[in-house]
Amino acid sequence: MSVWNSEISPVRRSARLKMVMISALIGFLIITGRLINIQIVNHQHYSDIACSQHTTQIDVEARRGRIVDRNGYLLAGNRTVATFQVYWPEVPIEETALIDTLLLQLGEHSMVKLPAERRSGNQILAIDVPYQDALLLTNSGLPTGVSIDVEQERTYPMGDMAAGIIGRFTADNAEGIEQWFNSDLQGIDGRLFIERSATGRYNLTDPEADNIHTVDGRDIMLTIDARFQCIIMEELESAMDRFNSDWAAAVLLDPANGEVLAAGSVPVRAQNGSLATNHCFQGYHEPGSTFKIVTYAACIEENLIEEGDLFNCSDGYIDVAGDSISDAHEMGILSRDEIIINSSNVGTVMLSRLLSDTTLCDYCSLFGFGLKTMIEYPDESRGILPVPGSYGWSGVSSAQIAIGQEITVTPIQLALSYGVIANGGTLYYPRLLKAYSDGNGWVREESIVRSHPLSKETAETVRRTLRAVVEEGTGANAAVDGVAIGGKTGTAERLSGRSDYLSAFVGLVPAENPSFVLVVIIDGPDYEYRWGSSSAAPVFAEMTSRILAVEPELALGSGRGEEDLMAGVIE
């Protein structure tokens, strides 16, 4: 065979070239079609896959609003922490060692022993990792399959000293102020998408990503003074131990505007760790003789008695609808003011007979009893105020109410009623909220007047009598050196299976131009301390002495400048 015979003929060579060209064209068309499918038809699908392989989604909890006292001291704040977790099915076997390295970097926050053992599902690696530490680890690149959750951890610098007011907030529950102002404090959570760069570091995606920016909660400022709150709580805890009482409570109030400066109730917590009843707002009790000032003030306001009027209390008891109300001892003939100074039940019943049943109950309502004060605290009690014609009203009801029986009150109601006497006749709605943040600073809340039970002249007369109670009468143990104190003792006997007593004292400091009203209640003290003069009054004196030592200008009266109270507030 010749060489020419072994060569491919031009026809066949041409056919083969056509076949190669057709094959190349088909391959090009397949590749082009595949690219069109990837880049255009299924672009979003493959983009999502790529994004999921190179980005991490982090849910960011909004900063919960801070709670501060009237001087800017932090009562409730936040600590940003992160939780690290791994989904083991996504971790390549050859990268297991990277998980061990991460655990070493997490240090004391790690929840897993080394070396880490693979699992079939998700595993928590670390909790409560400070945010800055978590951010450094994230920026240096996390192993495949590892994710983090960022959240806020609530902190309470004063602990149980302020817990009765502030409460506590968790993802599952809220109490106290945390509950009442939750909608303002909580803010709006956000979401961040973080993309791994070519160097292995993480950066935020472009602005077109579905990032949701957090909206922080609103900060709020309370009327509470943390210094006074600590004093109140320390003295209450000491009193419970000293008198072996069931519970104790105290309310410190600015009578000029209804602001609550401190409110303590012990015990703070129930056995299960939740907040116990806050007796300042949620509990109620018989006021005993502290309530006699309502009867006394009503008679003066109605011009039914004058300073020189005398009342014969010599028998030591008085008949009321077939029943008998008595004094602790015979007191003889008493003047209008001496009835209160000596805390005579008989004399007070005589005063009540000058008032109609309806008028007495109307004054009780004007002083705020039987009504919720509307303070910013959950589950507030209104107490019990019987009225003529209601169920249980009897021929002795008016006399019993006049001396503080058959009626129940809350310490905040009692403080507000004495605030009427302190400020010249005005009943305010009480407040725990002093101001809230609006992004540019603090916006103050204004005080609101509820009623005007008394004239200035009547209020002044009652203040003088209350001063005499401490200087001459049953309130001697409430006296404080260097300042004139006005106030009233109270002892309520209660029958609950056994004889039980409640000891109370309400005081004005200073007596003539009060800067504050302080209510002290000791419930169920040992028998020898049952009188208001023997337990509540001395506790009042101890609290007042410490408060004045912290802020001596309070002893000068209520003329202090409001602008000074906001000094040093955190912006």
SS3 category, 130 = strand
Mean pLDDT of the chain: 87
Q: How far is CA 284 from CA 143, 213, 224, 306, 533, in A?
A: 59, 46, 22, 34, 21
Range from 29-43, 114-128, 402-416, 474-488 carrying the lowest mean pLDDT: 29-43
Q: pLDDT, tens digit, for every residue of 192-228? A: 666 655 544 445 444 556 677 778 899 999 999 999 9
Model confidence at 249: pLDDT above 80: yes
In this predicted model, which residue has the larger pLDDT, 122 or 224?
224
Confirm if 540 and 264 have CB atoms less than 8 A apart. no
Per-residue pLDDT band for 229 (boundaries 50, 70, 90) equals very high
Confirm if 338 and 313 have CB atoms less than 8 A apart. no
pLDDT at 150: 78
Confirm if 383 and 370 have CB atoms less than 8 A apart. yes
In this predicted model, which residue has the larger pLDDT, 556 or 194?
556
Determine the Cα–Cα distance for residues 376 and 370; give it in Å rounded to an integer: 18
Q: pLDDT, tens digit, for every residue of 293-315? A: 999 999 999 999 999 999 999 99
Residue % of the chain over a pLDDT of 90: 61
Determine the Cα–Cα distance for residues 69 and 66; give it in Å rounded to an integer: 10
Range from 319-328, 373-382, 444-453, 496-505 carrying the lowest mean pLDDT: 496-505
Per-residue pLDDT band for 162 (boundaries 50, 70, 90) equals very high
Model confidence at 57: pLDDT above 70: no
Model confidence at 172: pLDDT above 60: yes
* Cα atoms in the Cβ-side hemisphere of radius 13 Å centred on 232: 31
Report which of 236, 273, 79, 241 is spatially closest to residue 161, judged by C-alpha positions. 236
Determine the Cα–Cα distance for residues 313 and 298; give it in Å rounded to an integer: 20
Name beta bridge partners: 501: 493
Mention every residue, 6+ apart, whose C-beta is less than 8 A from residue 96. Answer: 115, 116, 118
pLDDT at 70: 96
Model confidence at 120: pLDDT above 90: no
Within 10 Å of residue 378's Cβ, how many Cβ atoms? 16
pLDDT at 529: 92
Per-residue pLDDT band for 41 (boundaries 50, 70, 90) equals low
Report which of 85, 60, 59 is spatially closest to residue 146, judged by C-alpha positions. 85
User: Counting Cβ atoms within 10 Å, is residue 548 exposed (0-12), middle (13-18) or buried (19+)?
Assistant: buried
Amino acid identity, position 383? G
Q: How far is CA 552 from CA 357, 459, 515, in A?
A: 44, 25, 11
Model confidence at 562: pLDDT above 50: no
Model confidence at 436: pLDDT above 70: yes
Average pLDDT over residues 385-402: 94
For the record, the structure tokens of 3 come out as: 């060489």
In this predicted model, which residue has the larger pLDDT, 292 or 215?
292
Average pLDDT over residues 481-500: 81
B/e letters for 330-346, b = 16+ CB within 10 Å, e = fewer, are ebeebbbbbbbbbbbbb
For the record, the structure tokens of 441 come out as: 């600073």
Name beta bridge partners: 464: none
Average pLDDT over residues 478-498: 84
DSSP state of 430: P
CA dihedral 226, 231, 234, 237 (to 10 degrees): -100
Range from 71-80, 520-529, 544-553, 554-563 carrying the lowest mean pLDDT: 554-563
Determine the Cα–Cα distance for residues 337 and 506; give it in Å rounded to an integer: 17
Range from 8-12, 438-442, 521-525 carrying the lowest mean pLDDT: 8-12
pLDDT at 80: 82
pLDDT at 44: 65
Per-residue pLDDT band for 49 (boundaries 50, 70, 90) equals low
Q: pTM of this prediction?
A: 0.81
Mention every residue, 6+ apart, whose C-beta is less than 8 A from residue 190. Answer: 59, 60, 62, 211, 212, 213, 214, 215
DSSP string, 55-85: EEEEEEPPPPPPEE-TT--EEEEEEEEEEEE
DSSP state of 482: T
Report which of 269, 260, 265 is spatially closest to residue 374, judged by C-alpha positions. 260
Model confidence at 1: pLDDT above 60: no
Start-to-end C-alpha separation, the chain: 105
For the record, the structure tokens of 9 come out as: 């003929």
Q: Where are the beta strands (DSSP E) in 336-448?
A: 427-428, 433-437, 442-444
Instruction: Domain ranges for the chain, please list them.
Output: 61-196+214-222, 226-566
pLDDT at 540: 98
CATH 3.90.580.10 fits 226-566, yes or no: no
| Chain mean position to CA 8 | 98
Per-residue pLDDT band for 353 (boundaries 50, 70, 90) equals very high
Model confidence at 68: pLDDT above 50: yes
Determine the Cα–Cα distance for residues 433 and 166; give it in Å rounded to an integer: 12
61-196+214-222 and 226-566 agree in CATH topology: no
B/e letters for 494-533, b = 16+ CB within 10 Å, e = fewer, are eeeeeebbbbbbbbbbbbebbbbbbbbbbbbbeeebbbbb
Amino acid identity, position 102? L
Amino acid identity, position 253? L
Model confidence at 186: pLDDT above 60: yes
Range from 27-31, 92-96, 319-323, 339-343 carrying the lowest mean pLDDT: 27-31
Q: pLDDT, tens digit, for every residue of 251-286? A: 999 999 999 999 999 999 998 888 999 999 999 999
Please give the CATH topology (third level) of the domain spanning 61-196+214-222: Penicillin-binding protein 2a (Domain 2) (3.90.1310)
Per-residue pLDDT band for 460 (boundaries 50, 70, 90) equals very high
Confirm if 410 and 284 have CB atoms less than 8 A apart. yes
Per-residue pLDDT band for 561 (boundaries 50, 70, 90) equals very low
pLDDT at 571: 38
DSSP string, 317-361: EEEETTEEEE-SS--EEEEHHHHHHTT-HHHHHHHHTTS-HHHHH
